[in-house]
Structure 1
């Protein structure tokens, strides 16, 4: 009796023999049916079948044998006694058909009440030893397991439970041996193929443990004393990597969580005895996942959990023992276990930071042991460990990070051992979480009392620890900018590093997180702000980015002191002294910026001095305000050498001075505005001189500031000297007239005319000294200059054979006037886009293709717009009727 040559032929033969068997059973010819069945079973003897092919045939045969089994049970009392039949089938010629028939008849006999249950079960499992071929033996014993599935249900009888479990364990052990033996079949070069085939068959072995868990049910004592030790012994003794990983995982999956809690030490000890090639991380994580699922279920069901067993402590001891026995394990090899235990600790004991401190301490020691050798994998793990981004159990990262930073010393130690890039990545994620909380971008969680959880700094120690963690970012140097020789120094220095930007924001976060119940006085807040300042000072040149945030918080303290001073008149002197002291701190910050950063920060220093001067003026601190203005002038005179920067700086100075009020006393204001105007008149470029001086004319003509309650016509103490206003305008006009570029000279004159009209509208000739005669004379001068420009334009147009443009017509007919151009305050030409296009969004500040005729149109159009304004004002103000245009 032979087997088929192919799987298709085998399936066809099985189907054919099944039909013949059914026909014989219908005719009550049992012997013929057994003969056809035996022929069918011969197909399972084919040694060339792959596991998948064997399984396909097995399914077909299993269905056929099920038909035979049903017939045997039904006809047991009708002449086919199963006891006799059980002995008869064992005379079959081939062992595989013989054992399949024996199991089919034997399991059918077990369904009969009077059958000798234990004897038959023992006999069948013993007889299965006759097949030692791995694949055939595995499927044979799997068949035995399937046929006895309904016969080994959980029972109340203790002896029955023990027998059933022992039967399944015995079958499992034999199946496991066969499964492991399969690895050593065939030539060595096919070892990988054998491993693949084994993984395809692993479910057959795992099914025995599933059956065992069903039989044991909730009998913890039986599981702990008799079953688990045997299973773990088999796992250790097989010394097979695939087997050990799979079976350990199955044990963790199929038995209840409560069992694992009671036998945790045995499971952990066994993991240390496995082959060194086994992924300990994988099996431990499986166990941790089960235990975490248990505690979550217990909490949802409001059950009392057993606190007598410290789960973390047991895993911690296991980790230490593993590290001791396997000192060669690298950080990345331990990474999964450490993250898993960390996840377990946060799940079971979310408020216990000491557990995390232990883990970080161990990892820190491993980092020291392995020295500077870091791989991308290990660095990636460190980032995951320090940020806990992959742990879903962390629901509120800001609170988690805050507790780590302020309570976990090993966290800070481990962070300092990482590479600069890893430190920056970790700190960036941590700071982003805090800033998200600060900006309200993340939903606030609620604590047990129902109040929103807050991040409050309750002690100096907490702040010190927080700042200590930030130190790597504070001292971080942007090597990219340092090595970027293609850019000039100024452009590099004005590029704000993303890390320094985050530090400035975290400064505000820290000050807003102070616990007001602990730091009740402004002095205590200032003391903590000074702590932040001192730590930021370690950043060296980086303070040009971070110190402005410190100074901003000092401003906040100053304003707070001013409010308290008004509320508590008795402590006015105290708060006055505190305000002055804050200004001194600010002055030191500015000096530190200059000493550390030099000329690279002069623009920031200049503006900070002006802002401090303005604040002091608002608080009527005249001497302090004057000192800061003086410092600003010193920076201007000693450090600002670029003409464009000087012009912008003077504009900012004029804007700040124009809004001051307390400096009117003791002639401070007058000396400062004179000094500003003189600097403006000494600028390198004539156009800058002109614009700076006519802007400075506003310093002698104060206007109302509505935010402080001033109102034109009601406020009487404005600083106004019309004579000096006129002097500035005249000096500005001289500078414009001396400009050799006739186009720009005309443009400057039109700008001066607009300023004159401003004073003409907001005052009278007696006060401003800017009267109709002066305005008419200026208009006449502009007309004469524009006339020469138009002649020049006509001459150029005639050269290209175009129609002569009448000087009284609109200039838009110029073929050159395709675009609208204007001139900026810095003298640059700006293209606004096509005239026919209403959109002015197309702005080009770098005009390269501009022609002279386009330039000529700029002052002409500007003057036309001014004349149009004068005509419109005649309907409102009769004085404008005397202005000749």
Structure 2
């Protein structure tokens, strides 16, 4: 018993044998100029094409055998001296063949000669042929018959400049003929999906794929008609083709034909009809691979833009980016089941398009990244490795285009896209960014750019939730951290103040790296700080002004914090000791002292490396120096700043409410003393303003839950401030008035907000 493949080979062999047998007798009839016998045997030969047993691939072999014989028959038909019958009569004669399929093959063969003879308008013959072919509705037989019609008529269309153009025949007739043949072929092709049992759908779709080029050749013929200019394409050809594409509702046909349209028609036509072409995309079946269709369209337009700068104004005129962006959005909305990789692939293609066509439009680049962020935000966790690769491609494209990470750092959505990468891919992308900087020797010289950069590479400089640094390969980990260290060395600005800001940002990010990373990064940070110190030391002339004179102290403060981050208590303590010595021995200017003591207080407040004894010693010194500043107002502000040394939210055990209250009471006493001094310097803020500042500290610790700070204490302080403001001896102070009013509004807001905090503030009477 034969299997399916062997059966097909047997049926094909029988069909070929039948064609050869009848062709032999047809040749004898042709040689003897016997028209009747030639028609008889040619019809019998063509009857072999009536088989339904062959797959499209095997049927094609059989068809080509018959096609070769038809070419010889056509030569015989052309020479009426051999058979003695006019082409008009011959056209009528072949229509008497017994079976419809042989009849129509013969009719098409004679029809091509009829057109060439010009004894009838080309459009009439073409119309007759394309209508008559409707008689064959079997999908495979009908497709090959119409393919034969397209083949023998393509050089006989009434095109501009052709010998068949005339008053009765126009380009529109040629277009109508090809479009009608295309429509009928597409219907036959689509109908194939319903042939045979439902269980062989996969095989049937494979067979349909083998036939797609037969249908697509019609579109190729349309693109070759000289008379199909942009206007005709826009008004007639594209709308009618798209109507057929959308209405057939077949995913295979829709995908192939959309791709075929993109490939065969000119780039300029696509650009000028972009809205129409894109408008069809959301109407396609949900299973159609629209992302590939749109990607190929954008690739083609990108290449068109790259071919000549002269065409770029056209892209701007038709607003190509906007139309593509809107179309992609509509497609993604229409296809709810589109996987993440499909949507992101579309954004990659759109980004590639705008980078090639509008490289100067960074807003377009950021818009694409923003759209991708929106899509990713709807996905709880991106686990598809293919989608992850596309996100990396999306992020890599601007780096490759601009060869400059600084440009990418201006894109607000760039870091937001990176946030959606998994831990491993995030680190991989961070390494790509660093390598890009190294390769291009990019200069990142401003604090805001450094901030964005370190947000991008945070996967390398701190633990991300879910990551275990101990699981990392040791060599890979060292390579990553050495890359970060080299990056830190590359950050530079000639302006000391800006460089200091950069160092501060780097310190902020690297200090959270943990004990395994800090040995790599802290050394680079320290050397950057020391380089800045040497830079300041090498400046000519005296350094004047508060900021300039304090820069070395700020730098040493950073070095102190570096010791804190490395958990080296004795080194950190020594830094503070040296800082206090510098304060005592080197800083004489009162303004410089104020700045220095606040730097010391702020640094100490953030330190978590000290034990109880060392911390108490340092906080005692800081409080003492604060109380000995020259001006009462400066004393007051420094002392109430010290209250934060005894209450640190993110450090367990440092919540000493009593010592906080002592600091605030001491600050109040100093403010009272300042009030009694008649010679308060004008413009210093005034004693009443000091009371309001202290009130704000009371409110801060009251909200933080310090039980030593009570609502009655706040109430008393408010009454004291009101009394002082109403005193005749107090100079009017609009700044203090506004400050107090704002503070009271805040208390009122907390009361009105309700909840636990509202209840706490409820007892305070305003």
Aligned CA distance change for structure 1 residues 76 and 509 (closer, same or farther; 3 Å): farther
Equivalent residues in 2 for 1:591-606, closer than 5 Å:
591-598=560-567
Q: Does 1:503 align with 2:506?
A: no
**Where does residue 46 of structure 1 map in the other structure?**
51
Give the secondary-structure state (helix, strand or coil) at the position aligned to 1:6.
helix
**Where does residue 64 of structure 2 map in the other structure?**
59
Aligned CA distance change for structure 1 residues 76 and 309 (closer, same or farther; 3 Å): farther
**Where does residue 105 of structure 1 map in the other structure?**
110
Give the secondary-structure state (helix, strand or coil) at the position aligned to 2:421.
coil
| Structure 1 residue 264, shift from structure 2 partner | 0.8
| Structure 1 residue 209, shift from structure 2 partner | 0.7
Give the secondary-structure state (helix, strand or coil) at the position aligned to 2:85.
coil
Equivalent residues in 2 for 1:536-575, closer than 5 Å:
536-541=510-515, 542-562=517-537, 564-565=538-539, 568=540, 571=541
Q: 1:747-773 deviations in whole A, cap 9, x for unaligned?
A: xxxxxxxxxxxxxxxxxxxxxxxxxxx
**Where does residue 354 of structure 2 map in the other structure?**
345
For 1:33 and 1:322, locate their aligned partners in 2 and report how far apart those are by CA, in whole Å.
57
Give the secondary-structure state (helix, strand or coil) at the position aligned to 2:233.
helix
Q: 1:783-840 deviations in whole A, cap 9, x for unaligned?
A: xxxxxxxxxxxxxxxxxxxxxxxxxxxxxxxxxxxxxxxxxxxxxxxxxxxxxxxxxx
1:467 to 454, 467, 478: 454
1:235 to 202, 224, 245: 245
**Where does residue 94 of structure 2 map in the other structure?**
89
| Structure 1 residue 456, shift from structure 2 partner | 4.1
**Where does residue 169 of structure 1 map in the other structure?**
179
Equivalent residues in 2 for 1:427-466, closer than 5 Å:
427-438=430-441, 455-457=442-444, 459-466=446-453
Aligned CA distance change for structure 1 residues 149 and 397 (closer, same or farther; 3 Å): same
Q: Does 1:423 align with 2:426?
A: yes
Q: Does 1:26 align with 2:26?
A: no
User: Unpaired runs of 5+ in structure 2?
Assistant: 1-7, 579-609, 611-766
Q: 1:83-124 deviations in whole A, cap 9, x for unaligned?
A: 111111111111111111111111112111323422222211
Q: Which runs of 4+ in 1 moved over 6 A?
A: 577-580
Give the secondary-structure state (helix, strand or coil) at the position aligned to 1:174.
helix
User: Unpaired runs of 5+ in structure 1?
Assistant: 439-454, 613-637, 639-885
For 1:148 and 1:460, locate their aligned partners in 2 and report how far apart those are by CA, in whole Å.
71
Aligned CA distance change for structure 1 residues 97 and 218 (closer, same or farther; 3 Å): closer
Q: 1:199-227 deviations in whole A, cap 9, x for unaligned?
A: 01111000011011112555111111111
| Structure 1 residue 51, shift from structure 2 partner | 0.9
For 1:573 and 1:410, locate their aligned partners in 2 and report how far apart those are by CA, in whole Å.
41
Aligned CA distance change for structure 1 residues 35 and 218 (closer, same or farther; 3 Å): closer
Equivalent residues in 2 for 1:232-631, closer than 5 Å:
232-299=242-309, 305-372=314-381, 374-388=383-397, 395-396=400-401, 398-399=403-404, 401-405=405-409, 407-438=410-441, 455-457=442-444, 459-476=446-463, 479-482=467-470, 497-511=478-492, 514=493, 519=494, 521-541=495-515, 542-562=517-537, 564-565=538-539, 568=540, 571=541, 582=552, 584=553, 587-598=556-567
| Structure 1 residue 587, shift from structure 2 partner | 4.5
| Structure 1 residue 303, shift from structure 2 partner | 7.8
For 1:298 and 1:105, locate their aligned partners in 2 and report how far apart those are by CA, in whole Å.
47
Aligned CA distance change for structure 1 residues 211 and 253 (closer, same or farther; 3 Å): same
For 1:532 and 1:118, locate their aligned partners in 2 and report how far apart those are by CA, in whole Å.
78
Give 1 or 2 for the bigger CA radius of gyration: 1
| Structure 1 residue 350, shift from structure 2 partner | 0.9
* Aligned partners of 1:500 and 1:545 also within 8 Å: yes
For 2:521 and 2:481, locate their aligned partners in 1 and report how far apart those are by CA, in whole Å.
6
Equivalent residues in 2 for 1:634-713, closer than 5 Å:
none
* Aligned partners of 1:138 and 1:179 also within 8 Å: yes
Q: Does 1:205 align with 2:215?
A: yes
Give the TM-score normalised by the residue count of structure 2: 0.68
| Structure 1 residue 496, shift from structure 2 partner | 5.7
Aligned CA distance change for structure 1 residues 413 and 14 (closer, same or farther; 3 Å): same
Give the secondary-structure state (helix, strand or coil) at the position aligned to 2:567.
helix
Aligned CA distance change for structure 1 residues 248 and 292 (closer, same or farther; 3 Å): same
Aligned CA distance change for structure 1 residues 149 and 468 (closer, same or farther; 3 Å): same
| Structure 1 residue 25, shift from structure 2 partner | 1.7
* Aligned partners of 2:108 and 2:149 also within 8 Å: yes
| Structure 1 residue 457, shift from structure 2 partner | 4.1
* Aligned partners of 1:102 and 1:124 also within 8 Å: yes
| Structure 1 residue 572, shift from structure 2 partner | 5.6
Aligned CA distance change for structure 1 residues 148 and 425 (closer, same or farther; 3 Å): same
For 1:153 and 1:476, locate their aligned partners in 2 and report how far apart those are by CA, in whole Å.
73
